Structure 1
Amino acid sequence: MNFYNYLYQKRNLFYAFMILSLLTAGCDKDLLNTVPTDRLSENIFWKSQADAELAVNALYNDLDGAEIFYLDALTDIAHVNQPFAVDAYIEQGTYDASSSRLYNTWSNAYKGIGAVNYFLANVNKIEGSKNEALITQYISEARVLRAYQYIKLAYLFGKVPLVKTPLTLQEGREVQQAELVEIYDFIDKELEEAAAGLPNFYSGNDIGRITRWAALGLKARADLYAGRFAAAVKAAKLIIDSHQFELYPSYATLFSYAAENNKEVLLDKQFLENIYTQNVFSQLAPYSQQNGQSTYVPTKALVDSYVTSNGQVITDAADYDVKNPYKNRDPRLYHSVFLDGDQLPSGAIFHPAPNSGTADAVGSTYIASTTGFNIKKYIDKKDFSNPSKSGLNIILLRYAEVLLTFAEAKIEIGEIDESVYAAINQVRNSRNDVKLPNINAIGDSEQLRQLVRRERTVELAFEGLHLADIRRWKTAEKVVPGKVYGITYQNNKGETVVVEAASERRVFDPLKHYLWPIPQREINLNSNLRQNPNW
């Protein structure tokens, strides 16, 4: 294994080096005596508590960052904007086990798992004076980070190798896939045990580390994905009953620099402008904004999911105007999606209609949004001048998800009580800028199930969770296939027209697409791996 990882903790800006490089020099005997200057030797590492801290810090680099956005683009709520992009082939159903997206997702997850396994195998080598509680904390952080990767692998690929210790090259070529139930058992046990070794919160330089609540929040997520609803309720309730979290008062600024490290965030990946950066602005912003790439764009299907301001779905709302479809809607729509007339970070006004004559007009360039919508979350005007060097943190788990997980899991086990409505209503109307009507007792459990699913869809849009949702709900085969639609606008004849993304038609085969194929390169290296059904 040969890699290094960098990580800063946002408050003290240190770099951490992982020491997994054990390279020997070439044939020149003088080179064999050269002291490396670009890495640390294992012979001088694992000596102190500071070494353990540096090593565990490095593990955070393998958390997802800006790459979460592609996941939603493979669902009904977003779209891969350029048809020749590798993700577009997944959307179109023309991909196979050779896809670089699949391979990179797999290899990056196992890179993170391998780094944790190496850390756990070596951290106890440290001798002498050390804070045992702190070492236990570092071990717990590492176990949570490993479980995070297995949650992702399980819902994307199904049965995967469950690797818990460092492997030799030969062992890596012989591992076998674990049953899904074994993987979720492992995740569940890891997160529950790790939570016990973690503090509730951090302060100062340690803000951004894994907490007990992050471990329990991931456990609730994994249990929901696994259909272990009672366990999901239990984990989510521990967080709710702690009274340590609350929804950030402004949905509009929740994904901005102003809101970083607020009391809604349980887990994020932390960045620092110009030092440890991500490129969300350049990746998602409209084309007119410093050549924004519009890589992934919202769809009409998502926009139509937002209820009207009186809480009704648009198909039932008497005041819904098909010619003015974005008026009087759930405010989260306005804070999540760039709509016609919105002010852009540059100060210009967004006009995406094909006949608008602007740089953002549909069809003006292959980079402009093909639906006429652009993602607004994480587009902070502070990044306008340097869009590829953003320091904005990427939220991976927040309290709104915990509330909706609690509500959904309670519905699924038939425990529909006031706590379910309270959780949903808190998400719908407890922010200063999101005030939808309360929902009251709904006798039809299926109606309530659909309501909480819609809440998850709109509340958590563009946060990388919807693909897992439509897979576990088994609705992907209904909502994904077909054409991709966008904005409604008035053409030059005064007719109301809905944009249709040219030459785009999504495909989802329920016999195979609920799981990705195991990357072919992995199967070529390891004959013990078995391909997923119908691939």
Structure 2
Amino acid sequence: MYKFIKTSVVGLLLLLTTACERELLETIPNDRLSVELFWKTEQDAILATNAVYTYLEGTGLFSWDGMTDIGHTNQSFATEALIEKGQTDALNSKVLTEWTNAYKGIRAANSFFKNVDQIQAQNPNTISRLKGEVKVLRAYLYLKLVSLYGEVPLITDEISLEESRQVKRVPAAQIWDFIAAELTEAAPLLPVTQEQKGRITKGAALGLKARALLYAGRYQGAAEAAKEVMDLNAYSLHPAYQKLFSYEAENNGEILLDKQFIKDTYNNNIFATMAPYSQQASTNTFVPTKNLVDAYTMNNGKEITDPASGFDPKNPYLNRDPRLKYSIYVPGEKLPDGKIFNSVPGSGTADAVGYSYITTTTGFTVKKYINAEDLAQPANGGINIILMRYAEVLLTYAEAKIELNQLDKTVLDAINLVRQRADVAMPPITDLSSQAALRKIVRRERLVELAFEGLRYFDLRRWRIAEEVMPGKVYGMTYVENGTLKTVEAPAFERSFNKNRDYLWPIPQKERDLNPGLTQNPNW
């Protein structure tokens, strides 16, 4: 019996050793989650959804306005500066990064839809809601792709590496159809409000649908989607535009969609990259231009070029639309450290034009999102970045109705709600007689209300006016020197825009090397 037991034990040990060796050879990769281990619980579905949220626009939001007539890439060697100057090509790193990041997010969304139905959910409504959220996120990414590149591959399922090298571009109209359908399907799956702040709601789905249809030139659908948001009665304009981009105004009733950040955990570096140089040596990555500052009318509603406006070129920031000083640091404004912003050349401050190659080249810097709470740790910001707010929805509604020539009181009401926010209080628009005049008004309103919120770049392209407003030198502040008015000019920099090429970006060359079946956009 002892001999049998001894033999059995030895055999068992050999069996276990063999089994262990076999298991060592059949390990699960430790750098990713296997589908055999994941997609078991509702929490898995939530985590997978959260992963797609990370592909929402972050601090890159500022680059879009920074490459237009109202903004400027402050360092001429930056990638975005090449796009401004019309000197980019299919090898440009931003052109590639925007493409690859969008498709990474789309792949994450496609993986969610392929696997989420494996979960035996205790609460099916949770899974349904998450599906709505991911549909909106995927539509958001396709909206950026079609706006930048036109025809792009439409991928709605997980594909293999080999399959990815064979995908083809599809007509832009098909992409717009897909975006509209996704958002239409998503809206009923989503609540009007979410318990967890930052998660996508019904209003975000409909608001994004309104934006997409406006960009696509489908004005009736844009007006209807915007009106659906308005009829939810879930949103209102925050009374203080001046505080709209502050910590105290986070998650206010104007915000439809934002990207949420947390200091120390999931932070951003807005202060370090966008604040005036004197504030902890910020890099002033993108700065406002004279075109933007001049677009703000006097507070009586008259343009500064109107002789009856009361504009004083020697006191150019006096009695202007309040949104000017709420959005932009101009000379005389108080800085986060308590000092006064003075960018006049030769003023001796660290913000003076010419002080260093990082100091603003226009004499202006962005004020939105620059908060004193981030002064001590400028690269450890926790301020949320707003991706869509109710003011945009109102202006979308007004613009769509104007383009349809459906000029009625609701158009004026939408525009005037934005203009007459409590701390803005601009004179109301009253004349409905001219479609052309109202088109000019609503476009200006988008410019000054939404400056440096990532929309101007796409507005110029859908309006097809980039070749009119982009080319030429970049100008900044006007100041008095020895009794004479002088205007700052960004040194050795001239913008260019080729109307026969630049309305679409090139398909990245690296992608075409991997997939020769991807055709190139015209004249690239």
Query: TM-score, normalising length from structure 1?
Result: 0.92
* SS at structure 2 position matched to 1:504: strand
What is aligned with 2:438?
448
What is aligned with 1:478?
468
Shift of 1:443: 1.4
Does residue 364 in structure 1 map to residue 340 in structure 2? no
Match of 1:405 among 390, 393, 396: 396
Give the letter for the 1:248 counterpart: H
RMSD: 1.3
Does residue 534 in structure 1 map to residue 523 in structure 2? yes
- Give, in whole Å, the separation in 2 of the partners of 1:45 and 1:292: 43
- Give, in whole Å, the separation in 1 of the partners of 2:199 and 2:307: 45
Give the letter for the 2:163 counterpart: E
* SS at structure 2 position matched to 1:340: coil
What is aligned with 1:73?
66
- Give, in whole Å, the separation in 2 of the partners of 1:64 and 1:90: 19
For 1:322-341, what aligned pairs fall within 5 Å after superposition? 322-341=313-332
What is aligned with 2:37?
44
* SS at structure 2 position matched to 1:344: coil
- Give, in whole Å, the separation in 2 of the partners of 1:417 and 1:119: 44
Shift of 1:475: 0.7
Shift of 1:133: 1.4
Does residue 118 in structure 1 map to residue 108 in structure 2? no
Give the letter for the 1:399 counterpart: Y
- Give, in whole Å, the separation in 2 of the partners of 1:35 and 1:142: 27
* SS at structure 1 position matched to 2:256: strand
Does residue 314 in structure 1 map to residue 307 in structure 2? no
- Give, in whole Å, the separation in 2 of the partners of 1:123 and 1:317: 64
What is aligned with 1:518?
507
Q: Retained in 1: the 8 A contact 2:407–2:432?
A: no
Residues 51 and 439 of structure 1, relative CA distance in 2, 3 Å threshold:
same
For 1:167-206, what aligned pairs fall within 5 Å after superposition? 167-203=159-195, 206=196
Shift of 1:387: 0.7
Cα offsets for 1:257-297 (capped at 9, x unmatched)? 00000000000000001110111111101111011110000
What is aligned with 1:4?
none
Shift of 1:348: 1.1
What is aligned with 2:240?
250
Q: Retained in 2: the 8 A contact 1:223–1:231?
A: yes
Contiguous gaps of at least 5 residues in structure 2:
1-20
Bigger Rg, structure 1 or 2: 2
- Give, in whole Å, the separation in 1 of the partners of 2:396 and 2:239: 20
Does residue 218 in structure 1 map to residue 208 in structure 2? yes
Match of 2:96 among 92, 96, 103: 103
Q: Retained in 1: the 8 A contact 2:374–2:380?
A: yes
Match of 1:290 among 266, 274, 280: 280
* SS at structure 2 position matched to 1:42: coil
List, as ranges, runs of 4+ consecutive aligned residues in structure 1 with deviation greater than 4 Å: 28-31, 33-39
What is aligned with 2:3?
none
- Give, in whole Å, the separation in 2 of the partners of 1:309 and 1:57: 44
Residues 175 and 38 of structure 1, relative CA distance in 2, 3 Å threshold:
closer
Does residue 150 in structure 1 map to residue 142 in structure 2? yes
- Give, in whole Å, the separation in 1 of the partners of 2:288 and 2:67: 11
- Give, in whole Å, the separation in 2 of the partners of 1:299 and 1:154: 28
Shift of 1:59: 1.2
- Give, in whole Å, the separation in 2 of the partners of 1:31 and 1:223: 54
Q: Retained in 1: the 8 A contact 2:45–2:127?
A: yes
Match of 1:375 among 344, 362, 366: 366
Residues 376 and 317 of structure 1, relative CA distance in 2, 3 Å threshold:
farther
Contiguous gaps of at least 5 residues in structure 1:
1-27
Cα offsets for 1:61-112 (capped at 9, x unmatched)? 1111111110111110000000011111111111100000010000000000
- Give, in whole Å, the separation in 2 of the partners of 1:320 and 1:50: 59
Match of 1:137 among 120, 123, 129: 129
Shift of 1:32: 3.8
Shift of 1:442: 3.4
Shift of 1:324: 1.5
Shift of 1:40: 3.1
Does residue 269 in structure 1 map to residue 259 in structure 2? yes
Cα offsets for 1:423-448 (capped at 9, x unmatched)? 0000001x221010011023121011
Q: Retained in 2: the 8 A contact 1:289–1:384?
A: yes
What is aligned with 1:496?
485
How many pairs does the alignment contain?
503
Q: Retained in 1: the 8 A contact 2:203–2:232?
A: no
Deviates further, 235-244 or 394-403: 235-244
Percent of aligned positions that are identical: 53
Shift of 1:31: 5.8
What is aligned with 1:165?
157
- Give, in whole Å, the separation in 1 of the partners of 2:287 and 2:106: 31
* SS at structure 2 position matched to 1:62: coil
* SS at structure 2 position matched to 1:409: helix
* SS at structure 1 position matched to 2:173: helix
- Give, in whole Å, the separation in 1 of the partners of 2:84 and 2:255: 30
Q: Retained in 2: the 8 A contact 1:308–1:317?
A: no
- Give, in whole Å, the separation in 2 of the partners of 1:29 and 1:471: 60
Q: Retained in 2: the 8 A contact 1:246–1:264?
A: yes
Q: Retained in 2: the 8 A contact 1:91–1:506?
A: yes
* SS at structure 2 position matched to 1:160: coil
- Give, in whole Å, the separation in 1 of the partners of 2:284 and 2:342: 15
Give the letter for the 1:122 counterpart: N
* SS at structure 1 position matched to 2:304: coil
Residues 49 and 483 of structure 1, relative CA distance in 2, 3 Å threshold:
same
Residues 375 and 158 of structure 1, relative CA distance in 2, 3 Å threshold:
same
